[in-house]
Amino acid sequence: MYVEQPKTIQRRRALIWNWNKATGAAVMGLLSHLTKRILSRTVSVLPVFQWLPRYRQEWLRPDCIAGLTLAAYAVPVSLAYATLAGLPSQAGLYCYLIGGLVYALFGTSRQIAVGPTSAISILIGSALGSLVLGGSPQQANLAMITALLAGGIGIIAWMLQLGGVVSFVSETVLSGFKVGAGLVIAATQLPKLFGMSSAGDEFFGSLAGLFRQLGDVNFPSLAVGIGSLVLILLGEKFLSGRPVALAVLVLSVVVMFLFPLAEFGVLTVGTIPPGFPALGVPSVTLAETNGLLGLALACFLLSYVESISVARSFGIKNRYQVDANQELLALGVANLAAGLASGYPVAGGMSQSAVNDKAGARTPLSLIFASGAIAVVLLFFTGFMAHLPQPVLAAVVLVAIKDLLQLKELGHLKRVSKVEFYTAMAAVLGVLFFGILVGILLAALFSIILMIKQTAHPRITALGRFPGSDRFGETSRYPNVERISGVLALRVEAAFLYFNVQNIKEEILRMINLQIPSVTLVVIDLSTSPYVDLAGARMLNELRDILAESGVSLKLAEVHGGVRDLLRAEGLIQRLGGSDRRMSIAELIDR
């Protein structure tokens, strides 16, 4: 019978120990790696873990003041925007309450304030008002579904890293859209200011209804509305930075208590349920949500375009970076939360963000303070706000939208760029004639068509040599440049793409024909052509053959590396004499 020796047992135990030790170290290393990955991913997804550990005590007071100031601005504005959307007044408060809390966790901007905006409110009101009876519970349910869909779109866009897609909706389109939306909003609010019944949510119908009802003006309502409008405007001029709108709101409620204006036809907001919103998904059928996906996409595009523009402007002002893709997630989750909390789509608007920044906000903690103040209002002051006159809310909206009417910007566009001006006017007219939803999509499409048209007919300029140097410039811009005998130097200011190469070829041949037979060498500068597709490469081959038949040589200067690789694969580099480096016009001429 074999008996294992003590030394063999010791060696085996040592091997087992070393194995267990190595395995344990490997497992611990793997767990440590996974923990670091999870923590790193959590920090990237929740930027609150980036700024909160570095929070300074001296920031607490300005953040608190900014949050309370923002809440003072948000309360009257959110009530007004909710009525603009055809929803119960508390829906606007719910949006500010939940939107700010969520954005503070996920957002990368330190000053942006998330809540309902005038443009999204009128978009929701006009789109849903055509589907169901305005102000009905069903409209509130559909608005919640729209917010949930918009949130889902934002999260999917974040997962696909589509932060750059917003570039297709240009600042010019947005400028025109804001003017058109401002005019539509003003037209829908004037009847409320005059104490009349609403004539609809579209511009021309509202104006026509207003003129038809001029004989039915309720003068007590008009007096309350005009008085509130004047007080708010005077307050903004002489008490800048103070919660003037909130003070006017409180004053109007006191006036309604002291004087029986309700008996004279002055309408009030009515009962606002106290407490926080019940979280949950509204019960609607699939058929009832038909068509909401397009509305949700428009809401989210509008929300993201406006929000990222505002966030970047404050980031530049306060010297920090804003993550465009993370903002997709932040707005997506904020809209999801708003939809679950009886709200509607939210965005980071310029006006509320400017209030937050001007009041001294240093971090997103100001949004948490603002949400806390709004929570106090919902718990203890909804009964007081039930007596708020509707003309006062109309006055608040009319003052808030004055920043949308950027007529000076339109005038500036007309002076500096006719194309940009026409794009902006397409947005204005599209919104006025077809509504906000269709208007912004038509304007974006118009902008893309103009861009394609410009790319299809790119600018091609003749070049001359600056005296005594190897530099070349446009003959039309610099009269002192010298043309080189027998040489035509050209610059194509665009990529060579399948839909523009024939236009490029025809224009180059036209310019050559004007100088034949004096031209023996054509040099095309491709420094401003970062991309050439296969059709472009083959067109250059055709152009080389056409010129060769007339005894004219073709050379390509300043060819980018990727373009040179494609031209080499097509055999053009070899046919032109070969070149393994990026040669200038002067080098090609002097060879």
Q: What's the pLDDT tens digit per position in 41-50? A: 556 678 888 8
Predicted local confidence at residue 2, as pLDDT: 47
Query: Is it the case that residue 39 has pLDDT exceeding 60?
Result: no
Query: Is it the case that residue 31 has pLDDT exceeding 70?
Result: no
Predicted local confidence at residue 150, as pLDDT: 94
Predicted local confidence at residue 28, as pLDDT: 60
Give the model confidence (pLDDT) of 485-536 as tens digits.
Answer: 888 999 999 999 999 999 999 999 998 887 766 788 999 999 899 999 999 9
Query: Is it the case that residue 32 has pLDDT exceeding 60?
Result: no
Predicted local confidence at residue 1, as pLDDT: 46
Predicted local confidence at residue 44, as pLDDT: 67
Of residues 185 and 342, which shows the higher confidence score?
Answer: 342
What mean pLDDT is predicted for residues 342-349?
92
Task: List, in sequence order, the alpha helices (H) in 194-320.
Answer: 203-212, 219-238, 244-258, 292-318
Least confident of 60-64, 70-74, 403-407: 403-407
Q: Count the neighbouring beta carbons within 10 Å of the beta carbon of residue 195.
A: 25
Least confident of 4-13, 304-313, 319-328, 436-445: 4-13
What mean pLDDT is predicted for residues 207-224?
82
Most confident of the ranges 24-33, 75-84, 525-534: 525-534
Of residues 370 and 444, which shows the higher confidence score?
Answer: 370
Of residues 572 and 135, which shows the higher confidence score?
Answer: 572
Give the model confidence (pLDDT) of 383-418 as tens digits.
Answer: 887 788 888 878 887 887 777 777 888 888 888 888
Q: What mean pLDDT is reported for the chain? A: 83
Give the model confidence (pLDDT) of 554-578 as tens digits.
Answer: 999 888 888 888 988 888 888 877 6
Predicted local confidence at residue 363, as pLDDT: 93
Strands 472-474 and 487-492: unpaired
Predicted local confidence at residue 437, as pLDDT: 64
CATH 3.30.430.20 fits 460-590, yes or no: no
Task: Give percent of the chain above pLDDT 70.
Answer: 87
* pTM tops 0.75, yes or no: no
Q: If 0-12 CB within 10 Å is exposed, 13-18 middle and 19+ buried, where does residue 412 land?
A: middle
Contacts for 50-58 with beta carbons within 8 Å, 24 or more apart?
51/110, 51/363, 51/364, 55/363, 55/365
Cα gap 513→248, rounded to integer Å:
74
Most confident of the ranges 133-147, 154-168, 216-230, 252-266: 216-230
Q: If 0-12 CB within 10 Å is exposed, 13-18 middle and 19+ buried, where does residue 42 land?
A: exposed
Q: Which two tokens stand for residue 239?
A: 């008490």
Domain regions of the chain by residue span: 57-269+285-447, 460-590
